[in-house]
Chains A and B, each alone.
Chain A
Amino acid sequence: MSKGTQIVRFSFQQRVEHFITMAVFVLLCMTGLPQKFFQSGWAHGLVELFGGIDRTRWVHRFCGVVLALSTVVHFANAAVTMWSKKAGFTMAPIRQDFDDAVLQLKFYLGMTNRHPRYDRYDYKQKFEYWGLVFGNVIMVATGFVLFFPVAFAQLVPGQIIPAAKVAHSNEGLMAFFVITIWHIFNAHLNPDVFPFDPSMFTGKISRERMLHEHPLELARMEGRPVEELLGHAAPDHGSDRPHG
């Protein structure tokens, strides 16, 4: 196979889901964070941009509902796909992920020359995915409590409402940090992909990057043992191989 071969990594639907999540997340941060940091000047500027606090809130609620629906559609779709055996539960966190994380950290610290070999999703991607999933569940649940406080107070103790507010506000801030720090690093600033990893938008990834980042999946796709793919001389493949 030639060096420039492209492999399809994400389906059209997955790319659309990512695009919606991205757009809605940006809007949610822009309309949500000013409400948390209402005493700052920039917060007032952003709220003005959306035409006042009432409109800012309606944009926030609308985006929240879109995020909730897209989460439901995502799970329904994933369940159907796995049910029909078109794809495995490749996002499931397994024991191997923990071992990979330990090995990866040892590698970063220079304690080993061995680099973990990843399957379709590495532990960082799984962490971010499950972080987003649990985050979404918390944000959507607490968001609805704050959207309909009177209705919820008829079902649950009143104290749930301020607790939901604290959770929504902090979980939202944490999501903002995880995305700005972790996701921006991995998808943009990481030396392997800098300045921009387009695979989530084009749906394609080069075979070279697959070999480097997801060798186990590539080996399964090509039906060859992974050692043969990576070459016996270079078990610790990759551009960030330590020399010592």
Chain B
Amino acid sequence: MFAAAALLAATAAGAAIPAEQDDCLGCHTDPKETFTLASGEKLPLSVDQAAFARSVHGENLRCTDCHADKTSDHATGEIKFKTRREVTRAYYEQCKGCHFANYTKTLDGVHYAVMAKGNPKAALCVDCHGAHDISRPAQPRTRISGMCSRCHQAEAEVYSKSVHGRASAANPDVPVCTDCHKAHDTTDPRDGALAMRTPEICGRCHSDEKLMKKYNLSTSVVETYLADFHGMSASFQKGQRKADGKRLAAVCTDCHGVHDIQRPNDPKSTVMTSNLQKTCARCHAGASATFPRAWLSHYAPTMESAPLVWMVQFFYRLMIPFMVGGLVLQIALHLWRVVVNR
């Protein structure tokens, strides 16, 4: 999207607003001028010229590029739309003319699916990007979360108190909504398919050596998870969805939380040692106080951290080659003797 916009901006070579706009702006300037729709809502008829000029499209789109049905002598006083939402829904389709790739992505998104089911409130291009005042979405990145929070207030509230949310204002490294949920093909999180992708999603940052070093965090969290029972099960359940009577393996978010993730040493954290028993018991009914010790806390076992596990591992590391080597050697000697005697 940005590449296309940048290309267009370069070719437009500096002109502030294309000259044709004058025809439109001859009428559409008075902010008080509105049209009362059948619903009683007032549709503003003016455009903030300065805001449009500042927008990403300011230098390269003409009014009629989007308002394609309007001619210089279009009728006044007749608008077929009954509500403001209808106006928005009618015009958002114009974006795909240029932004086809992102438009196509939205067809796989949860917002489109909700809209297709008949919910008129489902987010469209302009709901997130704006209309005449479109600017680059990630400047600053927190704008993204702010945008989502306009509809998803409860989630935004929880996120803002999490380890990621608290840092997001000052720190461009932490994830905002779209980093996990995606922007255009936003996944429906309710069926569990997004959760099953969290080892990969969280792993994008949490196995990034350079990034994690900045915060003194371990990058072996994903591999130690995968090496364990939950991770192994989850890798066989990739792409699966929740269903009645079907339990999917625990993924990152099942223990650490979703929007409410905290540092593991935060007393509010679900993975704080003193809270672990409760967290385990959510799936493992009746988990005793020692049960969380079955989980080695994202660390490969060592003689200090888990001596029993380490010793068993060490034993087999010697035993398997010794056993296999010995048997193969004896078979080789046997066959050699048969060949020599022939």
> Which positions in A face B, CB cutoff 8 Å?
35, 38-39, 44, 47, 52-54, 56, 105, 107-110, 146, 149-150, 153-154, 157-163, 165-167, 170-171, 173-174, 177-178, 181-182, 185, 190-191, 239-243
B290 — which chain A residues lie within 8 A by C-beta? Answer: 153-154, 157-158
B309 — which chain A residues lie within 8 A by C-beta? Answer: 159, 162-163, 166
**A-contact bits for B303-342, CB 8 A (1 contact / 0 none):** 0001011001100100110011001101101111110110
The answer to whether B312 touches A181 (Cβ under 8 A) is no
> Which positions in B face A, CB cutoff 8 Å?
226, 228-229, 232-233, 235-237, 246, 284-288, 290-296, 301, 306, 308-309, 312-313, 316, 319-320, 323-324, 327-328, 330-331, 333-338, 340-341
Query: Which of the listed residues A107, A154, A159 has the most CB atoms from chain B within 10 Å of its own CB?
Result: A159
The answer to whether B292 touches A173 (Cβ under 8 A) is no
The answer to whether B301 touches A162 (Cβ under 8 A) is yes
Say how far A186's CB is from chain B's closest CB, in angstroms: 9
Given A109-B333, A153-B290: A47 and B308 within 8 A (CB)? no
The answer to whether B285 touches A242 (Cβ under 8 A) is no
Could you name 22 residue pairs across A and B whose Cβ atoms are closer than 8 Å? A108-B330, A110-B340, A149-B284, A149-B291, A158-B293, A162-B228, A162-B301, A163-B309, A166-B313, A170-B312, A170-B320, A173-B320, A174-B324, A177-B320, A177-B324, A181-B328, A185-B331, A190-B334, A239-B341, A240-B341, A241-B341, A242-B337
Say how far B305's CB is from chain A's closest CB, in angstroms: 10
8 cross-chain pairs, A with B, having the tightest CB-CB distances, nearest first = A158-B293, A170-B316, A161-B294, A53-B236, A108-B333, A153-B291, A158-B294, A158-B290
Say how far B1's CB is from chain A's closest CB, in angstroms: 36
- In Å, the complex CA distance between A110 and B335 comes to 12
Task: List the A residue with the shortest CB-CB distance to B306.
Answer: A159
Q: Which of B327, B334, B337 contacts A110 (CB 8 A)?
A: B337
A153 — which chain B residues lie within 8 A by C-beta? Answer: 287-288, 290-291, 293-294
Given A105-B333, A110-B337: A159 and B236 within 8 A (CB)? no
- In Å, the complex CA distance between A158 and B319 comes to 25
A150 — which chain B residues lie within 8 A by C-beta? Answer: 284-288, 291
B295 — which chain A residues lie within 8 A by C-beta? Answer: 158, 162
- In Å, the complex CA distance between A132 and B4 comes to 67
The answer to whether B330 touches A174 (Cβ under 8 A) is no
- In Å, the complex CA distance between A58 and B278 comes to 27
The answer to whether B319 touches A167 (Cβ under 8 A) is no
The answer to whether A53 touches B233 (Cβ under 8 A) is yes
The answer to whether B327 touches A38 (Cβ under 8 A) is no
18 additional contacts (CB under 8 A) given A44-B236, A190-B334: A39-B226, A53-B233, A53-B236, A53-B237, A105-B330, A105-B333, A150-B288, A157-B293, A160-B294, A163-B306, A166-B316, A167-B316, A174-B319, A178-B323, A178-B327, A240-B334, A242-B337, A243-B341
Task: List the A residue with the shortest CB-CB distance to B247.
Answer: A54
- In Å, the complex CA distance between A110 and B333 comes to 10
- In Å, the complex CA distance between A157 and B246 comes to 30
A162 — which chain B residues lie within 8 A by C-beta? Answer: 228, 294-296, 301, 306, 309
Q: Which of B296, B301, B323 contacts A177 (CB 8 A)?
A: B323
The answer to whether B232 touches A38 (Cβ under 8 A) is yes
Given A162-B306, A177-B320: A242 and B341 within 8 A (CB)? yes
Say how far A160's CB is from chain B's closest CB, in angstroms: 7
Task: List the B residue with the shortest CB-CB distance to A101.
Answer: B330
The answer to whether A35 touches B296 (Cβ under 8 A) is no
Q: Which of B236, B284, B324, B341 contacts A47 (CB 8 A)?
A: B236
Task: List the A residue with the shortest CB-CB distance to B284.
Answer: A150
- In Å, the complex CA distance between A38 and B312 comes to 21
- In Å, the complex CA distance between A153 and B290 comes to 6
